[in-house]
Amino acid sequence: MSANSSDSQREATSTPTQAASTPSAPAKAVQVKLVLLGEAAVGKSSLVIRFVNRDFQENREPTIGAAFLTQKCNVDDRSIKFEIWDTAGQERFHSLAPMYYRNAQAAVVVYDVTKAVRISICHCLLQSSHLRYTFTNRDEQASLDKAKSWVKELQRQANPNIVIALVGNKLDLVQQAEEEDEDAEEGASTVRQVPQEEAAAYAQESGLLFFETSARTGDGVDQVFSDIAKSIPLEHILASSRGSRQSNNPRIDLMREGANGLRAPGEGSSCAC
């Protein structure tokens, strides 16, 4: 192993044509900034790699700060070039997030369908070597809850026209369990911890796009991005991309303003909590 493999994995704009997109690309692609948010290890990076490189890697290094990738996507008569910011998931990186979601036109908020929502104790026994852990899974760790708080933050602090997609990842684990335990009555339900209906209802209520995906198998991944591409108010972006980028959205400076300089245009000047 010589170089850092993840670096080469993050090659961008590699495959120009996508399954979900029509091959006849219009002349000029509209750039859309998309940010991925969600708890650590729910598969944000894997989701992007699947979309950009048609690839899946079992143990990806955690993202530090954020990774940047681009991918073109042609839907209907539109050609969109996604600039994807894949952010770090650990809680303490949270304060950096505004740096990445500023000016974003789309956000994908990812959670893990196999992570409990409100189950107080989740046994996660790792019998590797002599160490054996049992984890207490507290409310705030549940990945859907974390996703909800991201949505809340985006709706308050990001671009007001932002298109948000809620994505439940790791569907393959559920499907796999379902296949294995076809006879067993409760097989699937122990693996799946977030019922589809619950998440869908929440998405509906909050005005989000909703998907369940598997980055491993690729199920539903392209759908996420092509649906986002369809929902983006392109006219709005085209009209405002030049202007707003420079003038409307003040440069936010993480240090000086502590990432709080971000203010959606048109919103009041008081602190946006």
Partner 1 sequence: MATNLPPELPNDCFTIPTQVDIAINLFWETLKENDNFLLQHIKARKNALFRGMMGTLQNVFDTKQPPYRILYRRGASTICIQLAVAETEKQIDSAWNWVQENLAPKVDVLESNLEKEEWIATKINSIVTRTDTGTDEVSVDVNVRNASRSFRQTFDIPSSEHLVNYYSAAYHTSRLTSQGWLYISENYVAFYSFLLGIETKLLVELKDIQDIKKEKSKRGVFSDAIKLVTKDKQEHFFSNLFKRDEVYDTLIQLTGLAMQRLLKNTSMGSSPGAEIIAINTADDMVPSEKEIAAIKSLPAAEVQKLVQPLKMNLAMQKQNELFRIHFRLPASENLNYEVPVNYIPEEAQKQEADGSSSPNQNQAAAGNFTGKLSISEAYLTFESTDKLKTLEFVLPLYTIRRVERLNGKGQAYALKMVTWHQSSHVFHLKGQNLVCEQFCEVLKHNLKSQIKFMKDLKQFLATCESERLLATDESKAEADIPGGLGLKFGFLGDPKKLKDRSKTKLWKQYLEANGRNLTMMRAVNFAKLIRVGLPNRLRGEIWEACSGAMYLRFMNQGQFENILESHKDKLSLSLEEIEKDLNRSLPEYAAYQTEEGINSLRRVLTAYSWKDPELGYCQAMNIVTSAILIYMSEEQAFFTLSILCDSYLPGYYSTSMYGALLDQLIFEHLLETTMPILHEHFKKTDIQLSVACLPWFLSLYINSMPLLFAFRVLDCFFMEGPKILFQVGLAVLKINGAELLKATDDGAFMHILKDFFASLDEPIYPNADTARARSLTKFNELLLVAYRDFNLVTDESIRQLRKTHQLKVVAGIESFTKRSAIRNLKDTANLSKDELGVLYDKYYNAIYYDEKRKERNDAKMDYVTYERFMGSLADWAKFTAKDRTSERQVQLQVGQTFMKRFFEYLDTKNVSGLTLQDVVSGIGRIVKNGLMEQIEFFFSLHDGDKDGYLTKEEVLKLSETLLWLFREKGEGEHLTGVSGFLKHAYEYLEPKPEQPDSPDRFLSTASCRMIILADETLEFFFDHEFAQSFQLTEMPIERQNSLSREIFDSLFTAGTRFATGRGKRRGLSRSSSKTPSTTTLSSGMASPTSGPGVTDSQVGVTETDVAVAQAETNGVQESPKAEVESNIPEEEEVDDEDEDEEDGDVLEEVDRLLDEFEKS
The answer to whether 200 contacts partner 1 (rule: CB under 8 A) is no
Least CB distance to partner 1 at residue 32 (A): 11
Least CB distance to partner 1 at residue 261 (A): 9
Measured from the CB atom, the residue of 40 and 200 that comes closer to partner 1 is: 40
Least CB distance to partner 1 at residue 91 (A): 8
The answer to whether 127 contacts partner 1 (rule: CB under 8 A) is no
Total number of residues binding partner 1 (CB under 8 A)?
Answer: 65
Least CB distance to partner 1 at residue 260 (A): 5
The answer to whether 238 contacts partner 1 (rule: CB under 8 A) is no
Among the candidate windows 83-91, 161-169, 186-194, 211-219, which touches partner 1 by CB under 8 A?
A: 83-91
Angle at alpha carbon of residue 193, lines to 151 and 226, rounded to 5° = 50
Among residues 40, 117, 191, 234, the one that binds partner 1 under rule CB under 8 A: 40
Among the candidate windows 72-80, 128-136, 170-178, 191-199, which touches partner 1 by CB under 8 A?
A: 128-136
Measured from the CB atom, the residue of 130 and 266 that comes closer to partner 1 is: 130
